[in-house]
Amino acid sequence: MLERAAHWAQDAVPSVALPAASVVLLRDSENRLQTYLLHRHAQMPFAPSTVVFPGGRVDPVDSGGPEPIRPNSIQPNTIERCAIRETAEETGVVLTESDLHPWAHWITPEMEPRRYDTWFFVAAMPEGAQAADISGETDHAEWLAPGEALAAERSGVIRLLPPTLSILIELADLGCVTEVISHATGRHIETVLPRLVETPQGWQFRYPQPRASSS
């Protein structure tokens, strides 16, 4: 990414960010919050060797027809249907739209050739459900407390993309699934499109600042 950023021209035309969805599966275990994380294969074309939440790009089946998905013409509930389908395909967990609570919205930086416009949802594990590593895209999957995943990232044991890192940082301050869902209810979501800028200290990500609330 740094090499692409160094050669990125201001008038370059970015590739289209494809609509996608990701689900942060949550459960309470041993009196602490845990989330289900997938360790992606090193051979994956996007985000190889990273730890991610279940999810993927919108498929024509999510919109109810065979037509190609156009980012500016997404039908209502298409993103939610994508989130439900991807979760089932990657973990075996079957969710409903009422289980999904919007949490974040991230768009891949413009210099990346593979770009996604991704909505992240939090969802409590349905009672009696079990998550399993069935995606075929991962080395393994596991339940971890957000703080454990952050500690593993700091020590270099795992790699996290900025959206995953940001969400885990927020979840680390919450103690249980009920508290997360409460924070998701009525949550104001800012779209995040990171920019890589060159500074005297090297290349750094810059993020949009939250809008100040009106008095």
The answer to whether residue 133 scores a pLDDT higher than 80 is yes
Best CA proximity match to 149, nearest among 25, 35, 3, 61: 35
- Asked whether residue 45 carries a pLDDT value surpassing 90, the answer given is no
pLDDT tops 90 at residue 64: no
pLDDT above 70 (res 97): yes
CA 166, distance to chain mean position in Å, is 10
Q: What is the rounded average pLDDT of the residues 159-176? A: 95
pLDDT-derived band at 113 (thresholds 50, 70, 90) equals confident
**Hey, what amino acid is at 124?**
A
| Residue 162's CATH number | 3.90.79.10
- Asked if residue 38 belongs to a domain, the reply is yes
Q: Calculate mean pLDDT across residues 36-62.
A: 81
pTM value > 0.75 = yes
Q: Which carries the bigger pLDDT value, residue 66 or residue 121?
A: 121
| Residue 146 lies in domain | 15-64+75-185+192-206
- Region 131-143: mean pLDDT is 87
* 113, part of any domain: yes
Q: Please name the residues in contact with 169: beta carbons below 8 A apart, sequence gap of 6 or more.
A: 146, 150
Tell whether 211 is covered by a domain.
Answer: no
- The pLDDT value recorded for residue 50 is 86
Distances (CA, A) of 31 to 61, 145, 170, 175, 183: 39, 11, 18, 8, 19
Helix residue ranges, H only, the chain: 2-6, 78-91, 146-154, 162-171, 177-184
- Per-residue pLDDT at 55 exceeds 70: yes
Total number of domains constituting the chain: 1
Does 127 reside within a domain? Answer: yes
Evaluate whether residue 10 is within a structural domain.
Answer: no
Q: Please give the pLDDT value at position 136.
A: 78
C-alpha 55, offset from chain centre: 7
Using pLDDT thresholds of 50, 70 and 90, give the confidence band for residue 189.
very high
What number is the average pLDDT over the span 137-142?
84
Query: Does 213 fall in a domain?
Result: no
Q: Is residue 153 part of a domain?
A: yes
Identify which has the larger pLDDT, 81 or 12. 81
Tell me if 196 is assigned to some domain: yes
pLDDT one-digit tens code per residue, 21-33: 999 999 999 889 9
